[in-house]
Amino acid sequence: MHHIAKPLPGHDQEPAVWLVGAGPGDPELLTLKAVRILRAAHVVLTDDLVNPRVLEHCPQARIIHVGKRGGCRSTPQAFIERLMLRYARQGVRLVRLKGGDPCIFGRAGEEMARLARHGIDCGVVNGITAGLAAATGCGIALTMRGITLGATFLTAHTEDGRSPDWQALVRAGTTLVIYMGVATLANTRRQLLSAGMAAATPVALIENASLPQQRLCRTTLAQMQADATAFGLRSPAIMIVGDVVAAARTAQSHAPRRRRQA
Amino acid sequence: MHHIAKPLPGHDQEPAVWLVGAGPGDPELLTLKAVRILRAAHVVLTDDLVNPRVLEHCPQARIIHVGKRGGCRSTPQAFIERLMLRYARQGVRLVRLKGGDPCIFGRAGEEMARLARHGIDCGVVNGITAGLAAATGCGIALTMRGITLGATFLTAHTEDGRSPDWQALVRAGTTLVIYMGVATLANTRRQLLSAGMAAATPVALIENASLPQQRLCRTTLAQMQADATAFGLRSPAIMIVGDVVAAARTAQSHAPRRRRQA
């Protein structure tokens, strides 16, 4: 039923494929490791949500866009995985570039599993996930001591129609960081109220986290639907629900400076 | 009760203080933004858990270690905050460097609030939090589709003795990513079993996530105490509990290569 793994061996060779987190949008939130791997890439399969400025680190690479914007024309996951297999077998240095962190709503698990089934080794490089960047951009400490014991990152809806156990989430009392929640905001509000969450619970809605065009709408659970409409909230946005939102200092955190066009 | 914030203004001046996430250990997981800010720093107040190699980006700065290792001699939080205020008032470029991400168990909230009360502006730079690095280092996709709708980052104990609502967490069904859990591992196991979590639920215990000396112990909820003891698990470690652990590809992810001493 269980086994104890030995210490990981030192891997001296590079994996055939790297899954790399491009971060939340601000190209300065890329890691040094991501930059090193991009600079050496022959082919980069990139999500459409990745900031084009991130691709400036790999001018030598062939760039292939494999978009998956919610609701829009997109590249099927199976096709992306076939492309990955094809390039990996050609022996080129392949990077699969994803917004945020590959392990948080990034489908890294599916792509890793597919590669593993074909005996192809892959490495993963973490990125800053949008929920964390959204919190930071608004001065919200997601796990502030004395207020909550943790934070839950979740999606409010899935393709197979499953939805979270809102009652259990409310009882657990962790800060909720909801991804891809704009389309289902009215339902999320109704579910959280039905589950007994206080109507006055503070909520932050953050559009374009970490980018110069970042926008923040502070509201409450009861008011969030009306406020989101008045605000003109658009995807992609992050919703943070919990008392830590009210504890955030009133001074805004520093959004990245707008860069002048050269 | 609520208000709608206008778009954030472009901040053209730097804040007086930067809270910077140093990441989980691997110095290559630092962001480009963190490197830029460290290079310009006059004074860096750094947690002991930060990899000394991160400090190679700021040879020009005065480095002050403000340790806070669990159980060991440490610098009280109030003293750290007084130091921050003193340097901020002197007008030096001050960086407060923290392991992981400042907004996840990093006490950024307390430090931001203290600075804000004294009218001092601060900026925050995200880092890769240890729980994400631990997952990636073991090929675990924390939010794998079809298995779970999310992931909860939490501590198993607090200084004020509060503990999580384990029943609600189990019912919510999110992947649990538990920080600072080695000392209370036996209690966590008992609580999760009592709350109805299946004894066979897969668990990964990861020591020194992202470092060359990273070690992984794969086990189950029922066996995790015995296995952790046999393994000699030591802090700091991350515990990941949930079915996504079993879905991880068997091939290990790439640990950073050991670097030879120059």
Whether the predicted pLDDT of A97 surpasses 60:
yes
Task: Give me the helix-helix angle, A77-90 and A108-117, nearest 10°.
Answer: 50
**Model confidence over B214-251: pLDDT tens digits?**
999 999 999 999 999 999 999 889 999 999 999 875 43
All domains in chain A, ordered by first residue = 17-125 (3.40.1010.10), 130-247 (3.30.950.10)
Tabulate helix, strand, coil % of chain B (nearest 5): 30, 20, 50
Whether the predicted pLDDT of A241 surpasses 50:
yes
pLDDT band of B74, cuts 50, 70, 90: low
| Contact (Cβ atoms closer than 8 angstroms) between residue B98 and residue B19 | yes
Residue linked to tokens 């399969």: A45
What residue in A sits closest to B163 (Cα-Cα)?
A149
Of A101, A112, A216, which has the smallest distance from its Cβ to B139's Cβ? A112
pLDDT band of A257, cuts 50, 70, 90: very low
CA B223 → CA A77, B178, B183, B219, B228, distances in Å? 37, 17, 16, 6, 8
Q: What percent of chain A has pLDDT over 90?
A: 67
Whether residues B164 and A158 touch (CB distance < 8 A) is answered with no
Higher pLDDT, B68 or A82: A82
**Model confidence over B43-60: pLDDT tens digits?**
999 998 899 999 999 999
pLDDT, average across residues A145-168: 87
Task: Give me the helix-helix angle, B185-194 and B224-231, nearest 10°.
Answer: 160
**Residues of B carrying an active site annotation:** 47, 68, 180
Q: Give this complex's ipTM.
A: 0.89
**Model confidence over A54-72: pLDDT tens digits?**
999 999 999 999 875 544 5
| Distance (Å) from the alpha carbon of B246 to chain A's nearest alpha carbon | 11
Helices (H) and strands (E) in chain B, counts: 8, 10
Q: Which amino acid is at A56?
A: E
Q: CB within 8 A of B205, min separation 6: which ones? A: B216, B217, B219, B224, B227, B228, B231, B233, B237, B238, B239
Whether residues B217 and A108 touch (CB distance < 8 A) is answered with no
CA A218 → CA A93, B70, B116, B122, distances in Å? 44, 35, 19, 20
Higher pLDDT, B210 or A254: B210
Whether the predicted pLDDT of B134 surpasses 50:
yes
Whether residues B109 and A28 touch (CB distance < 8 A) is answered with no
Task: Give me the helix-helix angle, A185-194 and A224-231, nearest 10°.
Answer: 160
Residues B57, B53: Cα–Cα separation, whole Å? 8
A229 interaction partners in chain B (CB closer than 8 Å): none
Handedness of CA B256, B252, B246, A2 (dihedral sign): negative
Interface of A with B in 64-83 (CB under 8 A): none
Residues B222, A45: Cα–Cα separation, whole Å? 41
| Contact (Cβ atoms closer than 8 angstroms) between residue B155 and residue B179 | yes
Residue linked to tokens 């250990």: B25
What average pLDDT does the structure give for chain B?
87
What residue in B sits closest to A23 (Cα-Cα)?
B31
The pLDDT score that the predictor gives to residue A261 is: 34
B244 interaction partners in chain A (CB closer than 8 Å): 109
The pLDDT score that the predictor gives to residue B68 is: 59
Interface of B with A in 164-183 (CB under 8 A): 164-165, 167-169, 171-174
The pLDDT score that the predictor gives to residue B252 is: 43
